[in-house]
Structure 1
Amino acid sequence: MIQKTTAILFAILLTAAAVHSASLEDDAVIFQALEEEMARSLADLKVDVFGPPYFITYQIRHHDRAEVAASFGALILSDTHQARTLFVDVKVGDPQFDSSFPESHRYSVEQFIPVDNDLDSLKRALWYETDLRYKQAIVSFLRKKGRFISGVESHDLPDFSKGKSVRERIDPIPEWKLDIPGWEQLVRQISNLFKVAPGIEKSRVKIFSDRVIRYYYDSDGNKIRDAHLKYGLNIEAWTKTEEGTQLHDQKTLYFGKIDQFPSRAELTRTTLELIASLKELKAATPMDPYVGPAIFSPDATAVLFHEAIGHRLEGDRLRRDKDGKTFLKKIGQRILPEFITVVDNPALKSYHGTPLIGHYHTDDQGQQSREVVLIDHGVLKSFLLSRTPVLGFNRTNGHARSDGVHPPMSRMSNFVVKSDLTLDAASLKQRLIEEVKKQNKPYGLFVKKIVGGETQTDNRQFQVLKGKPLYLYKVFPDGREELVRGVDFVGTPLSIISKILVTGDDPTVINGFCTAESGVLPVASITPSVLLSEVELQVSHQPQVRRPILTPPKVVSAP
């Protein structure tokens, strides 16, 4: 599932104070703890007839987080903190048949460890967690063996593949610059604009920064330290319609450096635009179910491709008996129009100056990331792969990802849709109108902004996907547009992607977060607008809540 936010860069220099963490100035003790406990476990961790693990992964993530937020001109949060989490993966058996259980991911909770570089404390945490995971691995191995012996489970492929050459990568740790007093003042000023906005019941303006430093070590000898730093700002507001339907809109901006921070003038304009848009949406007419041609904006296209195609090309899913395996046996077949190519490239850091939050150098199995051509001119060529082999593919392509809490699996990173058949915005709208007339429809559709989407890949469920438009317009044959609300688009993956007629010439970066089995991960899409010959809309589930009985308190200090 993807939760969408659009990335836009603005530039103004804010006074910044560099934040140093004494515990990070010399982190050799972290790798000392990892190496010593790894050696001890590989040599001596055994019980009864079970020998030591054949593969172990250790991963420590150090989190620096700063966040300030305000509502209606008053500060509601100002916090800076550190935390460290530990992830341990233990495999028993051998690469052909091991303890991994593709049908389910283990129950996982965050394992917090000391932020101090204290060797004894770190080793104790590693010792305890490794022991726990070793015992769980043995139980999983025996359960899996039982299923295999009883004939319930077939086992035609190895469980684990050989990785690339052993490598060491120690990246520099970026300086973490903050301006907490300046941010507190700014969120007060911007959130104050909501005070006099009619109909706004709740609002929040938040500035945040995250620095995540990852220490990775595995029994193959891969030793990695890398770091990701991002800054962001979120503006959001809620209102209710006359019938009690809650409406919510937000704008989230991401940037990689503090000197790319948006100015107050830009944020003021963005906030006023959000207020005006919510007012228009509140007055919009609820729409009935409908089937007709539609233009999807770049962010709607991102959700469409993410849900219809992306999740179904994540190789780990294809090993599960209960997966729908939509595309497993379609390698070499055309699944999209021949003018469309799809790649996933975690090595991309930015696109035309906009940072891509799905970027990484090394995945969560110690393998180097690389670009993968998934669909070449409509023909399916490959899958997103971890070290778990898939039919026809025995080696990873560096796409094992995790939130540092759950076991890694193949996931999207920077998902790029390219097109050889494009139209500018005016021509795309005209083509939509032509399609409306051709189909003798009263109007077409334009999905301008979407909240997010979801899909089912389990073969016990209907193979469907759903998207949640926020700003949806009827487009009439004379070119008029009318804002409507209250519907979702639905479809089956093979059907809906076959309806693509042409794309726009407007590839746009869509940064967001995706929730799946290996956790909530940052992902980016670079997608254009698309014209589809047919999209089905259904009435969305929208609980209705009585509006406030009294009017809001009188504003004493207006902005």
Structure 2
Amino acid sequence: MTGAAFLLAALSCATAGLALAQQDNDHTLQAMRDEMARSKARLELKIPSTDQPVRPYYIEYRLLDLDVREIVAEFGTLLSSTHTRNRFMNVAARVGNYKLDSSNFVSDDAFRGFIGPTGSVGIDRDYDSLRQDLWIATDQAFKEAVDTYSRKKGYLSSLARQSDIEDFSKAEPVQLIESLETPDWSNRNWEQEARDTSAVMRAFSQIHESRVTYYLVYGTEYLLTSEGTEIRQNRRFAAIEAGLNAVADDGVPVNHYYAT
């Protein structure tokens, strides 16, 4: 079996074992719902230099929960094995309406796009902690949207002809709440598999340096919008990378990188 074929065989079964949570104690969506309701009911600001109050007509919360294993081996020897958890949020707020809103505007202060504040949040799915993070991010996104909307309207008023293309499209709400799953990293000896995969390179005497890396990723995506969309969806990814270095007969260094 060639090195590449062995890597493919290893990857074909390199999917983390999954287990349904014995008890769904995930308070993420509830925290997102409650903070969304507060934001829709209470957020209001006046456009700069006017007395016109505005509210966000659209709010979007995205959250990505990542559980990652990374295992590195070389010629049958384990170099490292790490396990990390991270949660990242993204908050977007739009001011105006579907025809003309605060998104996609370039000013002297550089691009002001439709992506709101981003950042990491606690990994324990704590309700109160997440609500606080969302509150701070939503407040920041809304204030930025109000300022951008004011600048954008001022610029467009100076144009002889404005675009007929709407800034945003309304979508039908989607409801997709999958059962919460957690990865079971103990169902396979991943370190030994990485050792065995990298040990195949010993058969090729021309290779003086070789490294094999396993990436095993389990993710849960959350999405909540003010239009009514609610999603919790599980994602799974696996990849293997191999880097090979050798020296040709004429002394020229050669290398090869393989990923699948």
Provide TM-score, normalisation by structure 2: 0.78
Task: Identify which of structures 1 and 2 has the higher relative contact order when contacts are C-alpha pairs closer than 8 Å and 6+ apart.
Answer: 2
Equivalent position of 1:111 in the other structure: 119
Whole-Å separation in 2 of the counterparts to 1:56 and 1:139:
16
Gap change, CA 1:161 and 1:85, over 3 Å in 2: same
Q: 1:45 aligns with which of 43, 46, 54?
A: 43
Secondary structure at 2:39 match in 1: helix
Secondary structure at 1:26 match in 2: coil
Contact 1:92–1:141 at 8 Å: present in 2 too?
Answer: yes
- CA drift of 1:96 comes to 0.8
Equivalent position of 2:240 in the other structure: 233
Equivalent position of 1:57 in the other structure: 60
Contact 1:174–1:229 at 8 Å: present in 2 too?
Answer: no
The 5-angstrom pairing of residues 366-445 of structure 1 reads: none
- CA drift of 1:243 comes to 8.3
The 5-angstrom pairing of residues 187-198 of structure 1 reads: 187-195=194-202, 197-198=204-205
Equivalent position of 1:79 in the other structure: 82
Unpaired stretches in structure 1, ≥5 consecutive residues: 1-6, 253-559
Q: Does 1:26 align with 2:25?
A: yes
Whole-Å separation in 1 of the counterparts to 2:12 and 2:149:
56
Contact 1:207–1:234 at 8 Å: present in 2 too?
Answer: yes
The 5-angstrom pairing of residues 447-526 of structure 1 reads: none
Q: Does 1:138 align with 2:136?
A: no
Gap change, CA 1:191 and 1:152, over 3 Å in 2: farther
- CA drift of 1:224 comes to 1.2
Q: 1:155 aligns with which of 144, 157, 163?
A: 163
Higher strand share: 2
> Quick one: which amino acid aligns to residue 133 of structure 1?
A
Whole-Å separation in 1 of the counterparts to 2:208 and 2:11:
31
Whole-Å separation in 1 of the counterparts to 2:174 and 2:115:
30
Q: Does 1:222 align with 2:236?
A: no
Contact 2:98–2:169 at 8 Å: present in 1 too?
Answer: yes
Q: How many residues align?
A: 242
Contact 1:101–1:140 at 8 Å: present in 2 too?
Answer: no
Provide TM-score, normalisation by structure 1: 0.39
- CA drift of 1:126 comes to 0.3
> Quick one: which amino acid aligns to residue 57 of structure 1?
E
Deviations 1:237-278 (A, max 9, x none): 2446668676432031xxxxxxxxxxxxxxxxxxxxxxxxxx
Contact 1:19–1:176 at 8 Å: present in 2 too?
Answer: yes
> Quick one: which amino acid aligns to residue 211 of structure 2?
R
- Percent identity reads 28
What CA RMSD, in Å, does the superposition of the two structures yield over aligned residues?
A: 3.3
Equivalent position of 1:205 in the other structure: 212
> Quick one: which amino acid aligns to residue 131 of structure 2?
K
- CA drift of 1:58 comes to 0.7
Gap change, CA 1:243 and 1:143, over 3 Å in 2: farther
Deviations 1:142-181 (A, max 9, x none): 23223312228842111111212x3321122345233487
- CA drift of 1:100 comes to 0.6
Equivalent position of 1:270 in the other structure: none
Gap change, CA 1:191 and 1:146, over 3 Å in 2: same
Contact 1:91–1:100 at 8 Å: present in 2 too?
Answer: yes
Contact 2:91–2:118 at 8 Å: present in 1 too?
Answer: no
Equivalent position of 1:524 in the other structure: none
Whole-Å separation in 2 of the counterparts to 1:131 and 1:11:
44
